[in-house]
Structure 1
Amino acid sequence: MAGRGRRDRGHPVMTFSIAAADGTGALGIAISSSSPAVAARCAHLRPGVGAVCSQNVTDPRLGPLLLDALARGQEPTAALASVTAGRGDIGFRQLTVLSPDGLSAHFTGDAALGMTGAESGKGAVAAGNMLAGPGVPAAMITAYESSSGDLETRLLAALAAGLDAGGEAGPVHSAGLIVVREVPWPETDLRVDWSDTPIADLTSLVHMWIPQRADYVTRALRPSTAPSYGVPGNE
């Protein structure tokens, strides 16, 4: 759904995001906004269940409700319908839902802010509000589908493509990237909560993190066999 909604009242989260499932069991979200700490409020993931973005005038309660619906066996379209039906203030919300098998659905309320858009692709769904142009979600999907490598790297490429396509109508200040796999916590959870260059900063964090990512899983599950911790006093 795309269109123009009402202007800002208070402090909404003006956002563009992508959720993706790469077929290996990994689920992830990359997200950026002009508001601070966007990933803390808008990105919701559950290993083996799904990925949800709840954005625009954000209601963080909707993320867990949609994940619960997926966990009960509903496909994304049905999950979205069950959570949005009859819900108060739903016109202010923008939602994307993705299941581990790559099925997706999206919703943009009629009171969403500025230029809005959403696009589903192969194993991915992107959406945004207060966008600089209508092509931002499609650019993110294209970049994701044409990329390769770890899910983190592909999501980062999609986020950068969204920015290159215009991103938000104003400057972005926060960004985040979260990926879940087999363990019951995010293997990657990187956030830039306030910066003039949040996506560039996030890129630096991802490049630093990826070589160490698996080591931290091993340290949690099998500490006696884990690699050196790399801190003073550790041999």
Structure 2
Amino acid sequence: MTFSIVARCAETGQLGVAISSSSIAVGARCPWLCPGVGAVATQNITLPALGPQVLKEMESGLSPAEALDKVLTSNGYTQFRQLTAVDHLGRTAYFSGSETLGKHNALAGEQCVGAGNLLADPAVIETLVHTFESSDGQLADRLLAAMQAAVAAGGEAGPVHSAAMVVVGELTWPIVDLRVDWADEDPIGQLAQLWAAYRPQMQDYIVRALDPTKAPSYGVPGDE
């Protein structure tokens, strides 16, 4: 039903999540991030509350593994959950319950974790992680490269319909927050197209927010 990668960029300290699913609007329920703290993906039979709870525990000083263990234990139904996490130091953790759907896998790499369920092949997650580790560019570029490689390796057992990517840096809001909530075909490809359009404008939107006097004009009505 879902595969994802959570990761940290060692050069910039940015944290990110990229995720796709056969379900609608995966970006509304599964990726959770907090600047300077970490990134979490909640999937399989998702309880969205787990994401913010894990982030809160990591912010209090727990490692990702300790945070996952505490939150899963306190919420119950552990057997149905699949979670991954990376913190601001690049430490990682993952969990797949006994009721994780279909062929599934989770794997930690260098400052990243990939996980999936209802996969065409468990090796899809190995491709996901290894591609991220070997890719260059911005964190978002590397996340998308990993997701596209996972699709090429077989992806999910069934059709994928939604995808999302979120990246946080030093600011209190995400610098990238892109979603394809439903697509009959290739939502990851559509997500890549969104990133290609947003990438050259990303810094401009940060400038506009922090110093409106330096805001670039885009030539739209009312924007002079």
Using the size of structure 1 for normalisation, the TM-score is 0.92
Cα gap change, 1:61/1:218 in structure 2, threshold over 3 Å: closer, same or farther?
same
1-structure distance, mates of 2:136, 2:94: 25
Structure 2 residue 42 is the aligned partner of structure 1 residue 54: yes
State the partner residue of 1:17: 4
Structure 2 residue 132 is the aligned partner of structure 1 residue 165: no
Which of 207, 220, 224 aligns to 2:209? It is: 220
SS state at 1:170 partner: coil
Name the count of aligned residue pairs.
222
Structure 2 residue 69 is the aligned partner of structure 1 residue 69: no
Structure 2 residue 162 is the aligned partner of structure 1 residue 174: yes
Q: What's the CA shift for 1:124? A: 0.4
1-structure distance, mates of 2:123, 2:181: 25
Which of 128, 131, 134 aligns to 1:143? It is: 131
Structure 2 residue 29 is the aligned partner of structure 1 residue 41: yes
Q: What's the CA shift for 1:84? A: 1.4
2-structure distance, mates of 1:173, 1:81: 31
Q: What's the CA shift for 1:67? A: 0.2
State the partner residue of 2:106: 118
State the partner residue of 1:87: 75
The AA in structure 1 aligned to 2:130 is T
Which digits, 9 at most, give the CA deviation of each residue in 1:23-78, with x for residues without a partner?
Answer: 21200010001111001100000000000000000000000000001100111111
1-structure distance, mates of 2:219, 2:173: 22
The AA in structure 1 aligned to 2:220 is V
1-structure distance, mates of 2:31, 2:222: 37
Using the size of structure 2 for normalisation, the TM-score is 0.97
2-structure distance, mates of 1:82, 1:151: 29
Which digits, 9 at most, give the CA deviation of each residue in 1:100-152, with x for residues without a partner?
Answer: 12110000011111111001000100000011101011101111011111111
SS state at 1:155 partner: helix
SS state at 2:105 partner: strand
Listed as ranges, the matches of 1:195-214 within 5 Å are 195=183, 196-214=185-203
2-structure distance, mates of 1:193, 1:22: 26
2-structure distance, mates of 1:39, 1:138: 23
State the partner residue of 1:186: 174
2-structure distance, mates of 1:57, 1:141: 22
SS state at 2:220 partner: coil
State the partner residue of 2:220: 231
2-structure distance, mates of 1:86, 1:51: 20
The AA in structure 2 aligned to 1:110 is S
SS state at 2:5 partner: strand
SS state at 1:112 partner: coil
Q: What's the CA shift for 1:219? A: 0.8
CA-atom RMSD, angstroms?
1.0
Runs of 4+ in 1 over 4 A off after TM superposition: none
